[in-house]
Amino acid sequence: MTSAPKKLFIKTYGCQMNVYDSERMAEAMGGEGYVQTDRAEDADMVLLNTCHIREKAAEKLYSDLGRLKALKLDNPNLKIGVTGCVAQAEGDEIIRRMPVVDLVVGPQSYHRLPAMERAVQAGGRVVDTDFPEEDKFDILAARSKAKRGPTAFLTVQEGCDKFCAFCVVPYTRGSEVSRPADRIVTEARGLVEAGVRDITLLGQNVNAYHGAEGGLAGLVGQLAAIDGLDRIRYTTSHPNDMDDALIAAHGNEPKLMPYLHLPVQSGSDKILKAMNRKHTAEQYLRLIERIRAARPDILLTSDFIVGFPGETDADFDATMALVEAVGYGAAYSFKYSARPGTPAAERAEVDAEVMDARLQTLQALITRQQRERQDAMVGQTTTVLFEKPGRNPGQWGGKSEHLHAVHAMSDEDLRGQIRKVRVTATAPNSLTAELIG
């Protein structure tokens, strides 16, 4: 007699790298007899894959743990694990503060989850926040061959050596490591066999990738040779690692999509220096010019922090001017959040109301630019990779080359198809299109 499979619920916070890690953790736990559920109430094990980037992100862990406590009262066999960047940053502090937690494992050690699960089932409480010598990707089982949707993330690089003054990532993810190109190509082939046509290569500093000859551009070239892989993207890049070969690839590698997330954080040289970004606003603008020379229609996005310690009205105006000069397709903006252990956390903070006002002003400009870029798409033809049915009958949703969300009507099953469309209208966060091929 076989026993019913145990159920695993994973909640993912934070960046795409956590999304990828959650998939890998679910696959690793599959080897222990777990299947995934989307209801925490049904689970035998809950993993919270956390983010430490801003205070609010980190606090979510504790409010979720509060709610899980009630579930554990109903089901004393429920095991609760904390993974990801808060696990790395706070380690056994979590176990001490939260008796409800059974295991804590950092992003570099999750290949040890199956062994930790066994220890937990035996009644233990375990913490592992090592930066182990061994490569977790060598130890994790091969990826599942099960059919999947047409898009996937693939982590190629982890960690960060940049030490921006506000950022916890170098501490939670450790120093930069690149995975060997042959392993990545093998993983990409497997994803394509499972139905994937669009892969986004991930790294905290993905364009610092050095696991292939020619760096990230070299890796993109190797992946572009895979039949059935039609679209390649990568994120997140640092301006100082955009080398000539990568810029050129945007012009001459048709599978490399015309989309680039290139965070600048601020338009003020004084603030960029205080942030330890190691480039000026002018250097960033020149870089954008070179990228646009290679691929004129590329859609650019960025991240911004407002209210970094020392930011004056004039510094903020410089950020607004930079945004005006670039013309982004979209961007994320955040209020500065002091993070324990980072150099900027020691500095005097900008007034909270000033930060709020600046955030609103910046977001209004970014929203306007996003809308302008979308409006400019109306009447244009592009291709869309359709992923799933939309909300209305006969409606399908997918992504354009520029990563716009696109809806189109069709009686066919468009899932996994790349089709030519003409854009007919825009909404705040999506485009409407008609099939023309």
The residues binding ligand SAH (CB under 6 A) are 53-54, 166-167, 169, 204-205, 236, 238, 263, 265, 303, 305, 334, 336-337, 339
Angle 179-181-186 from CA coordinates, rounded to 5°: 105
* CA-wise closest residue to 301 among 265, 251, 240, 260: 260
Q: 74 or 353: whose CB is closer to ligand SAH?
A: 353
* CA-wise closest residue to 45 among 131, 114, 138, 139: 114
Tell me which of 57, 167, 300, 377 binds ligand SF4, using CB under 6 A: 167
CB of 51 to ligand F3S, least distance (A): 3
CB of 166 to ligand SAH, least distance (A): 4
Q: Are 50 and 83 in contact (CB under 8 A)?
A: yes
Query: Residue 400 binds what, of ligand SAH, ligand SF4, ligand F3S, none (CB under 5 to 8 Å, by partner type)?
Result: none
Number of Cβ atoms within 10 Å of the Cβ of 55:
11
Query: Residue 52 binds what, of ligand SF4, ligand SAH, ligand F3S, none (CB under 5 to 8 Å, by partner type)?
Result: ligand F3S
Q: 237 or 417: whose CB is closer to ligand F3S?
A: 237
**Footprint of ligand SF4 on 225-254 (CB under 6 A):** 238
Does residue number 162 form part of the binding site for ligand SF4 (CB under 6 A)? yes
- Alpha-carbon distance of 160 to 255, in angstroms, equals 27
Tell me which of 84, 150, 170, 390 binds ligand SF4, using CB under 6 A: 170
DSSP state, 349? P
Tell me which of 6, 7, 24, 52 binds ligand F3S, using CB under 6 A: 52
Question: How far from 49 is each of 11, 24, 53, 68, 86, CA to CA, in Å?
Answer: 6, 12, 13, 14, 8
**3-class SS of residue 379:** coil
Tell me which of 6, 7, 8, 17 binds ligand F3S, using CB under 6 A: 17
Q: Which residues are annotated as a binding site?
A: 15, 51, 85, 160, 164, 167
**3-class SS of residue 343:** helix
- Alpha-carbon distance of 422 to 118, in angstroms, equals 54
DSSP characters over 45-105: EEEEEE--SSHHHHHHHHHHHHHHHHHHHH-TT-EEEEEHHHHHHHTHHHHHH-TT--EEE
CB of 303 to ligand SAH, least distance (A): 3
**3-class SS of residue 382:** strand
Query: Residue 170 binds what, of ligand F3S, ligand SAH, ligand SF4, none (CB under 5 to 8 Å, by partner type)?
Result: ligand SF4
Closest residue by beta carbon to ligand F3S:
14
Query: Residue 163 binds what, of ligand SAH, ligand F3S, ligand SF4, none (CB under 5 to 8 Å, by partner type)?
Result: ligand SF4
- Number of residues near ligand SF4 (by CB under 6 A): 10
Positions that interact with ligand F3S (CB under 6 A): 14-15, 17-18, 51-53, 84-85, 168-169, 172-173, 204
